Structure 1
């Protein structure tokens, strides 16, 4: 195994104490490798913890749609670490194992649309369009706004945008899944 260009911060990192405590609290007491990389920059780690914490915990958007988008971005960008961490919450939010496997085909002609509801398919299409094309079809946005309302549509767009940022960070810095994933 080759040495990392930028090593993870130690698992037992104690400083800056307030930030470390806040991250551990959000993570249920532990760090994941993403946190250990972010902690090379206190301002980035602080902003990330707050912003992503809000996305993960305080949106009105259906958690299944949120996690569907996160998994979709992960697949489209080749960020296995992201998929590894978001497939379990997708299932916890009501997704099935068959849907998890189907999400691995997002953006392909073989994507199993029949496994998903109309709004889930629209969320998958939005994820694809935002991630690959940047521009989004106006008809799709209108359908989502009618189905979800303005707040949840804005939140879905933000989830997709934010997790594109996450995947780009993970891939550029070669952040890999932990040996023992958090519960």
Structure 2
């Protein structure tokens, strides 16, 4: 049985976001405090994802520690974390997410060739067996909201229980972020590129 997943890509940077980032002149004391710990882009600016999400300060305040735990203090090796995030970015058509995670993916050891073949999926030549299983995990969670026994068993041979929990939560986190980014139309800032991001639909067998 073939399950077809239609992915709509939207990378029109000239399009106006549905909700604009909150301009600095509109920041109140609480907003400034919340944004003070946000990661800055290469130009020293706070990324649009944060200045948009901070319009809901209570949600922002609770979201950031959870995202930070997965991104900066998680158990997974950085290379595997970024592989899962980039595959999820591709699966969800989240070009903003992709653009922000290519640089750290390279820092963590993914090569240009690795990044270029992420859209080709787990069957692309060049992956190790473990990388192939991780990509399959991202795909299965995207399509069925669960891991197959085969993928679970393959990952369980390399990861402990806490790692396996983190894999599912990481993919889920970046689905949630993609829903926000794609729906609001958050625009990618100067200094980031969508290199390697592939438009179009794909199928899962």
TM-score by length of 2: 0.79
Per the alignment, residue 61 of structure 1 pairs with 76
CA RMSD of aligned residues (A): 2.0
The question of whether the paired residues in 2 share the 8 Å contact of 1:14 and 1:20 is answered with no
Q: SS state of the match for residue 102, structure 1?
A: helix
Q: Could you say if the C-alpha distance between residues 14 and 120 of structure 1 is closer, same or farther in structure 2, counting changes exceeding 3 Å?
A: farther
Task: Name the CA distance, whole Å, in 1 between partners of 2:153 and 2:78.
Answer: 21
- Aligned residue pairs total 176
User: Is the aligned partner of 1:116 residue 2:131?
Assistant: no
Q: Say whether residues 1:105 and 2:120 are aligned partners.
A: yes
Distance in structure 2 (CA, Å) of the matches to 1:48 and 1:32? 15
Q: Where has structure 1 moved over 4 Å in runs of 4 or more?
A: none
Whether contact under 8 Å (1:32, 1:178) holds in the other structure is yes
The 1-side partners of 2:101 and 2:24 are apart by: 22
CA distance in 1, matches of 2:107, 2:175: 22
Q: What displacement does 1:27 show?
A: 3.7
Task: Tell me the distance in 2 between the aligned counterparts of 1:100 and 1:11.
Answer: 35
Q: Does 1:94 align with 2:109?
A: yes
Aligned counterpart in structure 2 of residue 45 of structure 1, from 60, 63, 80: 60
Question: Which structure 2 residue ranges, 5 or more long, are not aligned?
Answer: 1-13, 193-205
Greater fraction of residues in helix:
1
Q: What secondary structure, in the 3-state scheme, does the structure 1 residue paired with 2:131 have?
A: helix
Alpha-carbon shift at residue 90 of structure 1 (Å): 1.1
- Normalization by structure 1: what TM-score? 0.87
The answer on 1:175 being equivalent to 2:175 is: no
Of residues 128, 135, 151, the one that matches 2:139 is 128
User: What residue number does 1:7 align with?
Assistant: 20
Residue 163 (structure 2) pairs with residue 152 (structure 1): yes
Distance in 1, matches of 2:162 and 2:143, equals 24
CA-to-partner distance for each residue in 1:6-38, whole Å, 9 max, x for gaps? 211115646313212122xx4476410100110
CA distance in 2, matches of 1:4, 1:169: 11
Q: Structure 2: how far apart are the matches of 1:168 and 1:3?
A: 17
Give the whole-Å Cα distance in 2 for the aligned partners of 1:53 and 1:39. Answer: 15
Distance 1:153 1:14, change over 3 A: same
**Aligned mate of 1:84, from 99, 102, 113:** 99
